[in-house]
Chains A and B, each alone.
Chain A
Amino acid sequence: ETGVTQTPRHLVMGMTNKKSLKCEQHLGHNAMYWYKQSAKKPLELMFVYSLEERVENNSVPSRFSPECPNSSHLFLHLHTLQPEDSALYLCASSQGGLLNTEAFFGQGTRLTVV
């Protein structure tokens, strides 16, 4: 069982819909991330939360709204998306600070905007 769990695994939504992606980590990490991976493109960092505080918003459009209610949970709220937002959205966590370790990924949510 993965230490980072994402739901749903697949999502199809219309451009006027509102949906949320959920991520939960069971590793006791203090940093969580949202990445976007479009076809044939590298992973793009979207947001970083460290100790539940957003420390990075990588020029992401406001139609993507993250929420981190506690160190184990991370959400990505979606509204009025565009077809070009269709991609694999990956959540990751790591033990930040001086004892930095690698990032552990969830299985991703494959999003299709129609």
Chain B
Amino acid sequence: RKEVEQDPGPFNVPEGATVAFNCTYSNSASQSFFWYRQDCRKEPKLLMSVYSSGNEDGRFTAQLNRASQYISLLIRDSKLSDSATYLCVVNLLYNFNKFYFGSGTKLNVKP
């Protein structure tokens, strides 16, 4: 079973739309959670950390549900520049800081 699972998409949405991605993780001992963004042929870059109480950064909102072991990312008012692959990442601190990456969800924002 994969450590982190995501719907690969693609999600094709018009500009201004609201889009949500979900991700599930298998290890209940996971302690840190992140969303990364990866543009085509570039390295992943941190979009935002995910906190237990949920957190927001501008148009982006992340939620964590430990009981159900899933993480979500909501993007409001999508921009063309949001087109990218979004990677869900979990970290097991006890296991020498291993970061487990999902396969990513591709988002295409159309004019």
A→B interface (CB under 8 Å): 31, 33, 35, 41-43, 45, 48, 50, 55-56, 88, 90, 92, 94, 96-98, 100, 102-108, 110
Contact = CB atoms under 8 A, between A and B. Distances in A.
A42 B44 contact: no
Contacts of A107: 42-43
B45 interface: yes
Given A55-B96, A107-B42, A108-B43, A102 B101 contact: no
Given A42-B87, A45-B99, A100-B97, 18 more contacts: A31-B97, A35-B101, A42-B102, A43-B87, A43-B101, A45-B98, A55-B96, A88-B41, A92-B99, A94-B99, A96-B96, A98-B93, A102-B34, A102-B46, A102-B49, A103-B99, A106-B43, A108-B42
A106 B99 CA distance: 15
Nearest to B92: A100
Nearest to A30: B97
Given A42-B102, A43-B101, A45-B99, A100 B43 contact: no
Interface in B17-49: 31-32, 34, 41-46, 49
Closest 4 CB pairs of A and B: A42-B103, A105-B43, A96-B97, A55-B96
Which of A31, A43, A56 has the most chain B CB atoms closer than 10 A to its own CB?
A: A43
Nearest to B49: A102
25 contacts: A31-B96, A31-B97, A41-B103, A42-B87, A42-B103, A43-B87, A45-B100, A48-B97, A48-B98, A50-B96, A50-B97, A88-B41, A90-B44, A94-B97, A96-B96, A98-B93, A100-B91, A100-B93, A102-B34, A102-B49, A106-B43, A107-B42, A107-B43, A108-B43, A110-B41
A88 B42 CA distance: 9
Interface of B: 31-32, 34, 41-46, 49, 87, 89, 91, 93, 96-104
Contacts of B42: 107-108
Which of B34, B44, B100 has the most chain A CB atoms closer than 10 A to its own CB?
A: B44
